[in-house]
Each structure stands twice: as structure tokens, then as C-alpha cells.
Amino acid sequence: MSPRVLPAEPGGVPILAWTRRLPPGAEEQLRLIASQPYVVEHVAAMPDLHVARRIAVGSVFATGHHIVPGALGGDLGCGVRAYRFAYPAALLGRDLLESLLARLSRVIPVGDATHRGRGLALPVELESPPLSTQRLGREWARLAPRHLGTLGGGNHFVELDRDAGGDLWLLLHSGSRGVGATIADHHLRVATALGEGTLPGLSLHTPEGAACLADTQWACRFARANRDVLAARALEVLSDVLGITPDADATVDVHHNHVAPEEHFGRTLWVHRKGAVGLEAGQRGLIPGSMGTASYVVEGLGEPRSFRSCSHGAGRVLSRTEARARIRPAALEHALRRVVHDAGKADSLVEEAPAAYRDIAEVLEDEADLVIPVRRLTPIAVLKG
């Protein structure tokens, strides 16, 4: 669909929304971004738009030389990854899937769980990054080894899927965990004290802005390293049990909470994406549905008005509080009757029930000029926190 255009208010920029649903609270959050003095061109809203803390998930905007720590969320560098195997998913009966899920849960801490003691050895390049304050350096040394290779909770997952051709896929979704949250909180406090605008932004020409950018980039590197370890552990389980390795040519990895310098409209801009993915034309991405509905491998179309962006998922239609109040565990069990999962967690997993999310087919229809779906992935087993 073509974007809905919300005219600019005095002193602001227009909003282009690729969604048939514009939740009132989310529209208010978009207008807050569009009114900031450092925002240029326009604000782009993705079809999975929904209200979140400070800034709506599904928001994309650009600045000339500012970074806005409050517009990226706390899970900096969070992203998704997918691997395809030339292995028939039909060979995996329910007993084998339950065994695989049990083994995955033993090697991947989920929810609030972290590694005990000193944690895991960090990659050499992440052992002592030059963070901007001594406190952040101490927190990195304390948190990073224990949070590396952990899944977290919420909508994070490790999942086994099958495609239309019957091949098996491994999907995972996680980010920078406590490391990213600590860095994000620190720079949000700095921006609140020193930044410009009612959604405080820091000029990259100042020491504070440069420090925020550098630390944010380290958090994103940690998020990718976290997915590396999660993937290595999951792939080892699949290799041990099934004797399979992935097709390297079919791997996808994209992140959706980040800021990056990119060329748009004839100049370099700093593009901020919260719950949105940047895809060049022809580049492959992954748009998850929910733990009970399909996900899609897609190719970007490079739409310039979206800052070459697309949705990062299906998008919530119920908040977690609303989902807990409205969705019964029995209804969740019915929705997941064909998906192997930890039924003992049904009381908490109602927050992630398919009914709490938009129809992924509707989301893809709304962004038909942003991406092309190339492969549908149906979940057969899912591990969540």
C-alpha cells in the first residue's frame, strides 16, 4: 500500500505511515518525533507500529548530526537470524522435537537467567571496549560475560520452522541484554540533562554525542556476538542430534534497534530505527510473526521514502497487560496445538500468544512497496523465556 501521509504540524516534518492501523497512542508518539528540531525530511512508520516506552515500535526517522538515545529502545542492536538446512522437517516427530527443545533449553539460558560465576569468555575484541565512562566499563566487565549467549524474555525466541518446500529452518531473536540496557540508560540520562528538544537529542559534534554513538555501536557489536553464541549452541544441538549443518548461502541476519549513517535524498543522514529493519534493494531480511504463526524471509525493495526500511515483526495489538487479562492459558494451548513448546509456562506465555499480535499477512500487505516475501516459514517448535 502507499503510505498514509499525516501533514506536518507547525515547525515539524510530515509522517508517512505504511499501516492501515494507526493506534492513537502511537500516532501521538510519532508526532512527538516529527516535532523535534533535529529531525529532517519526514518520519516513517512501519506496519507493525505500536505504542512502546517513549517512542513507538516501528518508528524510523533521520537527523543531520544528532543521536537520540531515547528513540532506540534499551535493547540496542536487537535482531533476528535464520539458517536453512537441506533436511526434511517432516522427519521430526513430536517426541524428537520435544527432545531437541529440552536440549536447547539446557544450553541456552532464557528469561532472566544468565550464566553463573564469571560467565563465558568474551571475543577478544569485546573484552575491554573503550567505553565513555569508567562506570560503563565496570558494568561491561560485570555483565557482558554473564549475558553473552543468553536469550532474554519477552518476544525473544529460538525456533524451529519448516518452509513450503519442507526444509528445516532455525530462527533466533535476541539482542544486547543487560549490556545494551545499561548503555542506553546512561546516555538517556545525559541527553535529558544536556540534549536538544523535548525528545532530547545529542549533537554528534559534541563530546557527549560522540560518546553516545561510540558506546551504542559497542552495544550493537555485543548484540551480534550474543546471536553468534546463541546460534553456535543451537547449531551444535542440531548437529549432535540430527547430524546436520546449515546452508551458508541461506543465512539471514538483521537488527532493528540502531542508528546508522546512510545516504538518503542526496546527503548523509543518521537514520534511527526502533523496531524496524533497514534493507537495501535485493537484500534479504526476516520478519517474524508470532510463536504460533508464520514468519517470512523477505527481500528489500529499497523504497526511498521509508529510508529503505521495513517492519521487524507482526506488531502487537494487545499490550502485555492486556494479553494477560484477555487471553486464557487454554486458548494459548489451542493456538499452539501444532507447535512444540513448554506447556508449563502457559500462564506467562499468554503475553506472547498469537492473538496479541497483528496478522502477519496483513502486515506484509501494508508494506508491499517495501519488501517482497520470498519464503514462508511455519513454526514447529519454539523456545521462549
Nearest to 49 by CA among 313, 356, 359, 355: 313
Q: Is 312 a catalytic residue?
A: yes
* C-beta of residue 78 within 8 angstroms of C-beta of residue 312: no
At position 30, the amino acid (one-letter code) is L
Instruction: List, in order, residues 6 or more apart from 161 with CB less than 8 Å away.
Output: 89, 168, 169, 170, 171, 295, 377, 378, 379, 380
In which residue are the cell numbers 538446512 written? 85
Encode 322-339: b = buried (16+ Cβ within 10 Å), e = exposed. Answer: ebeeebeeeebeebbeeb
Burial class from Cβ neighbours inside 10 Å (0-12, 13-18, 19+) for residue 264 reads middle
Closest CA to 75 of 207, 204, 251, 257: 257
SS3 150: coil
- Set 50, 173, 312, 341: catalytic member: 312
Q: Which positions are annotated as active-site residues?
A: 312
